Structure 1
Amino acid sequence: MKKIVILLSVTFLWMSCNSNAKRPLMGKTVYQQELNASFKDASISPLKKKDLRQFKGLDFFEIDSTFIVTSKLVRTENAPTFEMATTTDRKPLYKEYGKLHFTLQGKNQELTIYQSQDDLDDEKYKDYLFLPFTDDTSGEASYGGGRYMDVMTTDITAENTVILNFNNTYNPYCAYNDKYSCPLTPRKNHLDLEIKAGIKVYKK
């Protein structure tokens, strides 16, 4: 799933430079525009062909700056490699990278962040960390299987803080097409509040 970020950037740049584009990019922020552009591109879109023909843009919650928080990272030392459960028999290798502690809506929160071991040897993706979560909107306003957020190791400060922007979340590809194999959000990464920010559930 991490590779979506690179694909988004390439697609967005191409569309921005294309003077023949007849329609403005869909979305209120650069992130939303990039995500919509990738879904509209048949060569990389996870949508089924019939859904792609009717695609008019993804649904997002309104941008809410209160869902941009500073978290404190406590790294997990000597974490073992484990096989993460997915929606199929695929078992990708991950390690627990650490725990993120932050305050949201006046409550102390904690999420576990992971590092893919399969991508460590890839120069393009070795700095990506994987943050899946569910919340009290999951299964209703947002996808029941949870949402994902990408965090870069290069975004972590010397004080071990990192900004989490819940407005910039995305759904696993399984939310759009059951041919994909997607990591399942661990139960411990449930937030006991409503994250009304970021991507909404996909409605055909």
Structure 2
Amino acid sequence: MNTRNILITGILLVIGIAIIYTITGTESEEFYQETIQKERERQYKFLKYGMDSPLTDKQKSDFQELEYYPIDPSYKVRAKMVPVEDRKMLELPMTDGTVEKYLKHSFAEFELNGQKISLLLLQAAKESDKRNFFLAFADATSGEETYGGGRYLNLRQDGKNSITIDFNLAYNPYCAYNPDYACPLPPKENILEIPVLAGEKDYKKE
């Protein structure tokens, strides 16, 4: 089974997305909408034409579009980073039954739709840039409108003790498109009871 890690591709996008966050913090809502839409178009082109795309040749041929929730600026939040008291490596289960190691780094604390939320920020064991983080989460839409194994965000710390989280950029792991890939499952700390109506919806296989 091909167990290629989706983070390899995701990390390459972190710097670009961080720039998006910086720009959209001061620009108009129209510009923000355009920026998110461009990122979605980039994701489509990667899946459709990319050499490292998880789609098979047959899937690429049939692939027409990705489904998303409407872009909603309220799902872009500023979170306080609270360090984990006893930082240690976490063996995160993969979809194929294996495990992959991540550092339990910080909790991102914020409010979303009037509710206080705390999500665990992870760092890949081999991550060289200590401002890059991985967030895997599941919510009330998982297994319904979104992929049952959860969705991902690649984040970059943009403040001394804070980080921007934009759920409009939430994307599916490779295994949502192709079961030959093994992907990390969200830790128990990141399983939300509320729906996150933002980001990518489940991939509909033809």
Displacement of 1:186: 1.5
* 2:123 corresponding residue in structure 1: 115
Corresponding position of 1:3: 8
Match of 1:152 among 130, 151, 156: 156
The alpha-carbon deviation at position 118 of structure 1 amounts to: 2.5
Indicate whether 1:32 and 2:25 are aligned.
Answer: no
Please provide the CA RMSD for this pair.
2.0
- CA deviation after TM superposition for structure 1 residue 93, in Å: 1.6
Q: Percent identity?
A: 36
Report the counterpart of residue 58 of structure 2 in structure 1: 50
Distance 1:8 1:112 in 2: 20
Structure 2: distance between partners of 1:91 and 1:190 = 18
Query: Greater helix share, 1 or 2?
Result: 2
Counterpart of 2:201 in structure 1 is 200
Q: Bigger radius of gyration, 1 or 2?
A: 1
Match of residue 135 from structure 2: 131
Of 42-51 and 131-140, deviating more is 42-51
Match of 2:28 in 1: none
What's the TM-score once normalised by structure 2's chain length?
0.80
Aligned length: 180
Structure 2's unaligned 5+ residue stretches are 1-5, 15-34
TM-score by length of 1: 0.81
Query: Which structure has more RCO (C-alpha within 8 Å, separation ≥ 6)?
Result: 2
Gaps of 5+ in 1: 10-26
* Secondary structure of 1:95's aligned partner: strand
Q: Which amino acid aligns with 1:34?
A: R
The residue number in structure 1 matching 2:89 is 81
Q: Within 2, Cα distance between the matches of 1:198 and 1:129?
A: 18
Offset from partner CA, 1:37-64 (integer Å, 9 cap, x none): 1101141211122111111121111001
In structure 1, what is the Cα distance between the partners aligned to 2:46 and 2:131? 22
